[in-house]
Structure 1
């Protein structure tokens, strides 16, 4: 009989970081195509705050934008909307692709921008506890400071382009 999600999360949390990362990566690789396409959504409130989630399985900084893997046949907008709904029950508007980031082994990230009509971050009672620990709405500069390093670089570039009123242009990691 399979373990309930909370017990499985507790078992994974008790494992050393390298072992936990290997198990999670193997599970993703077994359940996803050989080349992963991920979506990352920069979602802002009317007053400009950025929605971030604290992810349970990330080790190099646990805070990041809502993200996840695309399913076969899914558009980036549909994937980002589905992941946001699954992880928090929230819905976004006007999602549009603004960047594609490569340079990672077996993975590419499609970055989207959208709006979210909320005044407060969702509480733990509505978050998908298996993956997400907490949510926060942060000013852009604070969001960049707390985001995991790889996402912080891309997020900083996207937010800077928005401030400059510039059009999307490719970002590269590093």
Structure 2
């Protein structure tokens, strides 16, 4: 009985955030992911309470109606960790499903240490890592995209 309750709790922990997004967002979802680097080349990673398959990755969030991808990246970074990115530009648009697209932006951040006063209940950690350490820690799908984007730069 305890294992069944544990399994149900895990299932609900994964499904409730997804259905919350689906019910509060437009029927076509656009997510924006921001690859942000410091002047010395470190990458900002955030730990998200709800991500499966690796909780660390680039700041990301859903675009609101009327926002540009760059505005979404700025809003999400402010909301999640209090960081304000600059020099943002869209570098990739990837279809994820018939109802979702993912837009990648790159930009810079002028910080020396990772944010410690996290602004969002969904973000549980932040770190600034060199490329190899970031790729080793982040979600596999994001790591592949970061490698591709940096190879193009």
TM-score, with structure 1 as normaliser: 0.80
CA RMSD, Structure 1 to Structure 2 (Å):
1.5
2:30 to 30, 37, 40: 37
Question: Secondary structure of the equivalent of 2:87?
Answer: strand
Give structure 1 regions of 4+ aligned residues with deviation exceeding 4 angstroms: none
In structure 2, C-alpha distance between the alignment counterparts of 1:36 and 1:132, rounded to whole Å: 21
Q: Please list the CA deviations of residues 24-58 of structure 1 after superposition, one character each: whole Å capped at 9, or x if unmatched.
A: 11100000011110100000001000000000111
Q: CA deviation at 1:129?
A: 4.1
Please name the residue that 2:77 is paired with: 84
1:60 to 29, 32, 53: 53
The answer on 1:139 being equivalent to 2:130 is yes
In structure 2, C-alpha distance between the alignment counterparts of 1:103 and 1:41, rounded to whole Å: 17
Q: Which runs of 5+ in 1 are unaligned?
A: 1-14, 163-174
Q: CA deviation at 1:107?
A: 1.3
Q: Which runs of 5+ in 2 are unaligned?
A: 1-7
Please name the residue that 1:23 is paired with: 16
Give the paired residue count.
147
In structure 1, C-alpha distance between the alignment counterparts of 2:82 and 2:41, rounded to whole Å: 21
Please name the residue that 1:4 is paired with: none
